[in-house]
Amino acid sequence: MKKKRVYIYDALLRDGSQGEGVSFSSTDKVLLTRKLDEFGVDYIEGGWPGSNPKDIEFFQLIKKEKLKHAKIAAFGSTRHAKNKAEEDPNLLKLIEAETPVVTIFGKCWMLHVKEALRVDPETNLAMVSDSVKFLKSHGREVIFDAEHFFDGYKDDPYYAMTVLAAAEEAGADCFALCDTNGGCIPQEICSIVMDVCSKFKNTPIGFHGHNDSACGVANSLMAVAAGAVHVQGTINGVGERCGNADLTGIIPALELKMNCETATDISKLTEVCRYVDEIANLAHNKRQPYTGLSAFAHKGGIHVSAMQRNEKTYEHISPKTVGNKRRILISEQSGRANILFKAKEMGFDIDTKNDEIKLLVDEIKQREHNGYEYEAADASFELLLKKALDKHSSPFDVLAFRVIDEEKCGAIVSEATVKVQVKGVEEFTAAEGDGPVNALDVALRKALMPFFPILDKIKLIDYKVRVLPGNKDSGTAAKVRVLVESTDGKNVWGNVGVSTNIIEASYEALIDSIEYRLLKD
């Protein structure tokens, strides 16, 4: 059966930048354009020419880029009611951008015609028609964004369809039916898109969705099922309010589940997803379908055991298909299968009948009961595994440590002293730091540096403390869990410590972190 070709339109650089906490420089926008072009997106909406200096600069910069596949689209509105199309500043700016594609939006909802534009219905139709004709006369491919189309259709289907007819007669190359407020649900999208497709057979139909009803991806897929061949959205669903329809969910569903094809290379999907988050300075959503860190993470022992026989038992697709990877988590819900899988992943060849594995499983469950957590502390787990297999030899021993906080001249000063032993040689050091944990970290490194110069490259990049739930009377005596993340510039690893004493918990995590890296050498 022949696959249906669906065209992907990414609005990240314009619609996405309207999301709360998102701001792109013109350089950012060029970098993102290169990445999206390499990925295989058909259309990239660059911004609104003339609306701000960054967009003006972007359209100048992008002219110098040689894109392999994507077409750049400039975005704007239909002419102002009082202007002729050839004299309208907005339309003239769209032409000046010199993009091969122009996307303009026009009103399809009578509420907006009367309340937002404050014009009569016929004037609005003329604004749409004149604008499309003007842009076509300058050789542009014109995508007509039918703004608030679904709300307009539900209010007055005849007028909403008449707006499309005006755009089609003027020469529009594609309609993008917009669920601008994101309030529609899939069955509404299906019936309305089917009706539009039945009446407009000569113009490709597209869909532009938002996620205000948590249906952005579902609505986009339903629109395609109903006849649409053009989908607008943003990578990671970045956008105004609750965001745009998320292309990282739409594209793989089209390719892998709906017998459709796009020009994208979905094996790069996870890479693109995380690149966008980095440029946007956003924390990656670990539970994001397909591309999230947890998308193919398995914790239950029964799940892992079944997957060792057949991966399809608990994965709807292979993670490699979208450039992601499988993760096996270690927790109190782990079984022998989890331990064996994780050990193999870490390079240990273990006899499946090894009694030490059963003891390790029991120990991990007890430790998790006591507050430890190994999902984000693979390095601590590996040390436990080595000890269980009698493959561990500590490179150093901490004989004693002490941390003192005192007030000096109105400021709190933290000082730590540490005594370590390396191959029979003792080293005693002291150091001050920004708080007791930092002082302990500095003193420990200072003591070990003469023996292990590699410590100069190891940096602590994250430190988290969580007070663990205890009995109602525990109060300030409650246990705390400390998770630390470290790097040597190439690799990143996590370690965990637990105690009723925050210094002791931090000390345990820090010691594990250093020991793990030294054992790698």
Is the fold of 4-280 the same as that of 397-520?
no
Contact 258, 225 (CB under 8 A): yes
Chain center to CA of 49: 28
**Does pLDDT of 300 surpass 70?**
no
pLDDT range class, residue 41, cuts 50, 70, 90: very high
Give tens-digit pLDDT for 183-235.
Answer: 999 999 999 999 999 999 999 999 999 999 999 999 999 999 999 999 999 99
Neighbours of 455 (CB within 10 A): 19
Pick the CATH number of 4-280 from 3.40.50.300, 3.30.470.20, 3.20.20.70, 3.40.50.1100: 3.20.20.70
Angle at 236 between CA 27 and CA 247, to 5 degrees: 105
**Does pLDDT of 154 surpass 60?**
yes
**Does pLDDT of 132 surpass 60?**
yes
| pLDDT for 378 | 80
**Does pLDDT of 309 surpass 60?**
yes
- Across the range 80-104, mean pLDDT stands at 94
SS (H, E, C) 2-52: CCEECEEEECCCCCHHHCCCCCCCHHHHHHHHHHHHHHCCCEEEEECCCCC
Report the candidate in 385, 376, 329 with the shortest Cα–Cα distance to residue 357: 385
Report the candidate in 257, 177, 252 with the shortest Cα–Cα distance to residue 210: 177
| pLDDT for 76 | 94
pTM: 0.71
- Give the range with max mean pLDDT: 265-274, 377-386, 506-515: 265-274
User: What one-character DSSP code corresponds to residue 226?
Assistant: T
- Across the range 8-18, mean pLDDT stands at 92
| pLDDT for 306 | 67
Give tens-digit pLDDT for 323-357.
Answer: 988 766 655 555 566 667 666 766 676 666 666 66
Strand 230-233 and strand 205-208: the pairing is parallel
Report the candidate in 62, 83, 87, 60 with the shortest Cα–Cα distance to residue 72: 62
Instruction: Compute the distance between CA of residue 140 and CA of residue 136 in angstroms, rounded to an integer.
Output: 5
| pLDDT for 476 | 57
- Name which of 163-167, 362-366, 463-467 the model is least confident about: 362-366
Higher pLDDT, 103 or 491: 103
Any residues with CB less than 8 A from the CB of 371 and at least 6 apart, and which? 468, 479, 481, 498
**Does pLDDT of 246 surpass 90?**
yes
pLDDT range class, residue 366, cuts 50, 70, 90: confident
Q: For 397-520, CATH number?
A: 3.30.160.270
Give tens-digit pLDDT for 461-517.
Answer: 888 888 877 655 555 567 888 888 888 888 888 888 888 888 888 889 988 898 888
**Does pLDDT of 367 surpass 90?**
no
Structure tokens at 497: 């410590």
Instruction: Compute the distance between CA of residue 304 and CA of residue 444 in angstroms, rounded to an integer.
Output: 39
Chain center to CA of 118: 40
Arithmetic mean of pLDDT over the chain: 87
Beta-sheet strands, E only, within 306-439 = 327-328, 397-408, 411-422, 425-433
Distances in whole angstroms, Cα of residue 474 to Cα of each of 207, 391, 405, 467, 468: 56, 38, 24, 11, 10
What residue segments make up the domains of the chain, in order of their start? 4-280, 297-369, 397-520
The upper half-sphere exposure of residue 336, i.e. CA atoms within 13 Å in the direction of its Cβ, equals 10
Would you call 460 exposed, middle or buried from its count of C-beta atoms within 10 A (0-12, 13-18, 19+)?
A: middle
Chain center to CA of 112: 34
Give tens-digit pLDDT for 384-400.
Answer: 778 777 777 888 888 99
